[in-house]
């Protein structure tokens, strides 16, 4: 251990973690390219090729040029996921039939929670909404 001073160890760890963070950013950019519906197929291919041929420059240019839209697309996907979840809860609680009583819906929610189809948090949110 005498040949590897503490500062060298610190710098090695720093470079390692920066390298891992860069990989996360690269995967995030590639995911965002494929998620964007407003980008044509040729545009997606161009960005992917740019990010794979010149990885550091491609990722940094993408973040500079299209970084603001990345957050918007994430928020849009989160809203769509929440809406789909709420729709699933409504359909599951109603049992796919017409109007049911509140106790029937609460009973179905409890059955879903017991079977593991709903987590504790999802069950509490659905129960609170049902009882409101």
Encode pLDDT of 44-58 as tens digits. 999 999 998 998 899
**Does a structural domain hold residue 1?**
yes
Number of structural domains (the chain) is 1
Q: In angstroms, rounded to a whole number, what is the distance separating the alpha carbons of residues 77 and 99?
A: 30
Residue 113 lies in a domain: no
For residue 24, tell me if it sits in a domain: yes
Q: How far apart are CA 56 and CA 58, in angstroms?
A: 6
Taking only the tens place, the pLDDT of each residue in 70-110 is 888 888 888 989 989 988 888 887 665 555 667 778 888 88
Q: Is the residue at 41 inside a domain?
A: yes
Residue 6: pLDDT band (50, 70, 90) is confident
Arithmetic mean of pLDDT over the chain? 86
């Amino acid at each position: 251990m005498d040949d590897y001073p503490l500062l060298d160890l610190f710098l090695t760890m720093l470079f390692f973690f920066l390298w891992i963070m860069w990989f996360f950013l690269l995967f995030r950019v590639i995911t965002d390219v494929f998620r964007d519906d407003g980008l044509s197929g040729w545009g997606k291919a161009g960005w992917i090729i740019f990010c794979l041929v010149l990885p550091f420059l491609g990722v940094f240019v993408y973040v500079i040029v299209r970084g603001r839209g990345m957050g918007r697309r994430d928020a849009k996907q989160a809203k769509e996921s929440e809406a789909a979840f709420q729709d699933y809860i409504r359909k599951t609680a109603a049992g796919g039939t017409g109007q049911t009583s509140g106790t029937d819906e609460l009973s179905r929610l409890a059955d879903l929670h017991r079977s593991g189809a709903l987590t504790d948090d999802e069950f509490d949110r659905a129960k609170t909404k049902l009882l409101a």
